[in-house]
Each structure stands twice: as C-alpha cells, then as structure tokens.
Amino acid sequence: MTSTTDLSAPADLSPADLLRRTLRRHAAGVTVLTVPGPAGFTATSFTSVSLEPSLVSFYLSSTASTAAAVLAADIFAVHVLGEDHRELAERFARSGTDRFAGTGWSPGPRGVPLLDGVPAWLTARPVLRQEVGDHLLVVGEVLDAGGDGEAPPLLHHSGCFGSFRPH
C-alpha cells in the first residue's frame, strides 16, 4: 500500500484535522432528525443500512444538546430537505435556541415531530444505539414514510449549503 501526501496540507495537522479537511470535499445530503419532546437537529450523516429489514442510521455527537432525547426516544423521524430548506437546516443546526419556534410541524406517531413541507420523511424505531468514538450511532427500522414532492436536494459541501441539478 502506498501513501500519498497532499503537499498543500500542513504536515502538522492532527488526524482529526486531516479527517475534517478531507470530508469537507464530500457532498452530503442534509436532513433534520426529530424525536418526541420535541427535539431535533440537522444531520448529514444519515444513510440507508439495509433493505431487508429496512434499516437506516445516523450519527450524533455524544455531547450534542439533543443526545439525551435521542437516547430516550422510542421513535425518530428523518426529514430529507430540499434546496429551499437552507434556513430550516441552519435553524436546527444552532445550539441554544428553540429550533421548533417558527417551524411548521405536527405530532406524528408516539409524538414524533413531523416537519411540514419537506420533500421526504420517514419514521423509524431504534434497534441499535452504540457509542462510536465521540459519537452515538443510531440504527432504526423504518416504520412509515411520506413527503410533499421531488424538490432538488439540499446538500452540504465545504461548509456551505447548495443544491444539485442532474447533467
């Protein structure tokens, strides 16, 4: 195995800084995850895990203000954001504010908040919660799904929000 060094990267970067610098180049879809309470946060770590059974996952910092609510929840909702939801993504990424103030939502099954007007959402039952490094991995079994349409996705890349248009 050969190692390649990016000569533009300072040699004294820590592994965490190298990871952060590298992943800024990876475009990721933007979601808002919610749990009863209500509590919620913006995440780019959402992904599918399995079709049979239908499983999804996300990661959350162990020190996040919503970590306790996520650990206690018996259901969560994932809201896939469209390109016109940048403000919503920013609101749910802020700490120390009422993220639901001014946000249209309604209570779903077992009180999980379902956000209004998102292109797609799903609810899931947690089947695994595991500490991984400084984060909490949550895997859930999909229960239900819906949404309002097929808007182009909101993406996060290099510290900014943007969208995607097919060639």
Once rounded to an integer, what is the mean pLDDT over residues 133-161? 91
pLDDT tens for 46-72 read 999 999 999 999 999 999 999 999 999
Give the rounded distance of the alpha carbon of 82 from its chain centre. 13
Residue type, 14: S
Burial classification of residue 162, based on how many CB atoms lie within 10 Å of its CB (0-12 exposed, 13-18 middle, 19 or more buried):
middle
Q: Strand, coil or helix: what is 70?
A: helix
Which pTM value belongs to this model?
0.87
Residue 5 has pLDDT above 70, yes or no: no
Q: DSSP string of 26-61? A: S-EE-EEEEETTTEEEEES--EEEETTTTEEEEEEE
The pLDDT confidence band at residue 26, using thresholds 50, 70 and 90, is confident
Grade residue 2 by pLDDT with cuts at 50, 70 and 90: very low
Chain centroid to CA 120: 13
Q: Which DSSP symbol is given to 71?
A: H
Q: What is the mean pLDDT of residues 93-115?
A: 94
Pick the closest to residue 136 from 47, 17, 53, 45 (CA basis). Answer: 45
Kindly indicate the confidence band of residue 125, based on its pLDDT and cuts at 50, 70 and 90: very high
- Among positive and negative, which fits the CA dihedral 57, 58, 61, 63? negative
